A and B are shown apart, each in its own frame.
Chain A
Amino acid sequence: MSDSWRECPDAMPAVHEVVVSDATQLAPGVFLLGFHAPALVDVTRPGQFLMAIPPGGERCATALGIYEAQGERASILFFAVGPRTRELAELRAGDRFAVSAPLGNGFTFSNASDVAIVAGGVGIASVLLPAQALVQMGKRVRLFYGARTAELLVEKDRFAREGCEVICATDDGSFGHHGFVTQALAAAERKPDLILACGPSAMLRATAVVANELGIPAQLSLEETFACGVGGCWGCVVPVDRASAQAPGFPGEDAGGSGVVYARICKEGPVFWAHELRW
């Protein structure tokens, strides 16, 4: 992300051919892949994602959050859980692949002053850019970070170094709060004025409930199985209020439509306001 990310216009995405600069294993099954992509860095906004085109050319591209975007290097952080991510985990410095990027709408947060970022598991992959931007803007940033176990709380020290207060939670109690990250959020003494969340669907739903109970606006970066990643196939949808600014064009109720319409997570999202979702 360029330093003047706030002025970053809606950049046209493109296919970027990139060269891997570094490949690191952060924990069992968790990888960080850095690549040379100066043109992409210039136009990436916090919360956007990319479609990683499989080097072997055999499968659908994979949607992954853009983790870092600084200088001439961007990176992705991912769990190797299936054939596509396992293929990416095999890449080494000097290997080439391609990405369609940047995609999606990203987070917005100019007006908040005390922001809680809620990340669960692989959700951490999408929240470094917003965290860095918020710290740069002088906001208070708390990262509520949950994982199954201590060793999967990857990069927690990185976020602390970037200027976030980091509050951890683990399912097995091996580090931080024993339980869900949303419990730690609900128990926080000073309430944030904005919540940004990314992680598994169950965590996002729980975050929406907490946000609603506390009366705090929340932006959720949703996950779903993607195919095209660019808005062409209508596979990756979520039901939203027809009146939402993020609803795709569709007839209103009087024209035979409905109060709810399916929006594309890859195009109208992936970030949606929790109160506009009708899932």
Chain B
Amino acid sequence: MASGCYGSGEEFEPFVDLSQIGGVVLKSVTRAPRLGNPTPRLVQTPAGLLNAIGLQNPGIDWYLEHDVKKFAKRPCKVVGSVAGFSVDDYAHVAQRLAARDEIHALEVNISCPNVAHEGETFACDPRLTSSVVKAVRGVTDKTIIVKLSPNVTDIASIALEAQHAGADALAVINTVRGMAIDVDTWKPRLGNVTGGLSGPAIRPIAVLAVYEVARAVTIPIVGQGGIETTADALEFILAGASAVCVGTANFTDPRIPVRIVEELRAYLEQRGIGSIREIVGKANVGFASPFQYEGDEG
């Protein structure tokens, strides 16, 4: 389940059997507590959701003391998400989060502004991406998944930098930048003015991103961006993703992810295919990377 969509997983437990899915990526945590953006934080658009939550979180100290222990009982993998505004922030949070047994892996949310470099987003610059990933690599041996932003000209080059800097896998993609305007009040609909678009509208953008990244790197890709059905998940897999992640579709129907897992299994059985790995990248002629990955669905 995608970061920011599933809280700590606890919120959805009454509705979903989490033992059926690969893992939950937690809401990003930062060094200092963050109140988050003023409202409105959400806007429904015809085929997607605009969000500008603002990384509301209690900060790493509080998180470690109060929240992390709740993850011990999750029947699926728990992936912590690290966000920050300087390379040092990322290293600090990553080290402390990774040290906890409850956390199986880390996702590095690099779609954050680098305060030291005039607010340029880490994920939009290959060198900033490299610095952050190297710093996180330096503080843990646990699996590091770097989450890429689609709001770039050449995602494959960013992906390559992340791999060279030590990423074990890549999450492709984060939200697409967007905004909406209220024609009655003449004001932006989001309190933050701009936000990130998720949901079906971004699926073609995400599938292309996976396709391009898969031709550049040799590490596994976790595909995400508007997956609502099994067919959607298969698109990502055929483009080169060896695992998929569902976020916004949980807001349509919390049963969707488990349904996709079951239908994917049935799809493989019907075709006599032993594992997802056999069809990863089959639509991607330039994709030729061998890999080892136990992902199913997260």
Contacts and interface: CB of A to CB of B under 8 A. Distances in A.
A234 B252 CA distance: 16
Given A60-B49, A255-B33, A256-B32, A230 B59 contact: no
A230 B15 contact: yes
A190 interface: no
Nearest to A11: B14
Contacts of B42: 224-227, 233, 235-236
A262 B36 contact: yes
What secondary structure prevails in chain A residues at the interface with B? loop
Contacts of A13: 14-15
B255 interface: yes
B33 A61 contact: no
A146 B15 CA distance: 36
A15 B39 CA distance: 28
Nearest to B6: A232
B250 interface: yes
Contacts of A12: 14
- Residue in B43, B67, B254 with the greatest tally of chain A CB atoms within 10 Å: B254
B51 A233 contact: yes
A98 B53 contact: no
What secondary structure prevails in chain B residues at the interface with A? loop
B230 to A, nearest CB: 13
Contacts of B56: 234, 237, 262
B33 A250 contact: yes
A53 interface: yes
Interface string B1-31: 0001111000110110000000000010000
A228 B251 contact: yes
Contacts of A261: 35
B49 A227 contact: yes
Q: Which size bracket describes the interface of A in this complex?
A: 35 or more
Nearest to A258: B35
A15 B13 CA distance: 11
A94 interface: no
A100 interface: yes
Contacts of A98: 253
B166 interface: no
A59 B255 contact: no
A88 interface: no
Interface string A246-269: 000111000111101110000100
Contacts of A249: 58, 62, 66-67
A234 B41 contact: yes
A238 B39 CA distance: 7
B272 to A, nearest CB: 29
Contacts of B250: 228, 232
A255 B36 contact: no
B58 A233 contact: no
A235 B255 CA distance: 21
Contacts of A255: 33, 59, 61-62
Interface string B219-259: 00000000010000000000000000000101111110000
A232 B12 contact: yes
B36 A59 contact: no
Contacts of A227: 42, 49, 51, 248, 251
- Residue in B39, B40, B67 with the greatest tally of chain A CB atoms within 10 Å: B39
B44 interface: yes
Given A13-B15, A238-B39, A60 B5 contact: no
Given A226-B42, A230-B15, A267-B11, A58 B32 contact: no
B15 A233 contact: no
A12 B36 CA distance: 28
B21 to A, nearest CB: 14
A59 B252 contact: yes
Given A225-B43, A251-B58, A57 B11 contact: no
A251 B40 contact: no
A14 B253 CA distance: 12
Given A15-B15, A59-B44, A231 B7 contact: yes
Interface string A96-123: 0010100000000000000000000000
Interface in A7-57: 12-15, 53-54, 57
A111 to B, nearest CB: 30
A229 interface: yes
Contacts of B43: 225
Contacts of A232: 5-7, 11-12, 250
B39 A224 contact: yes
B14 A14 contact: yes
- Residue in A58, A237, A238 with the greatest tally of chain B CB atoms within 10 Å: A237
A57 B251 contact: no
Contact of B7 (A53, A54, A233): A233
A227 B43 CA distance: 9
A176 to B, nearest CB: 27
In order of increasing CB-CB distance, the 7 nearest A-B pairs are A232-B7, A235-B42, A232-B11, A231-B11, A225-B42, A60-B251, A12-B14
Given A230-B15, A249-B66, 10 more contacts: A60-B248, A60-B251, A61-B252, A82-B44, A224-B42, A230-B12, A233-B42, A237-B36, A237-B41, A251-B58
10 contacts: A60-B251, A225-B43, A230-B15, A232-B6, A233-B7, A234-B4, A250-B33, A250-B62, A256-B32, A256-B59
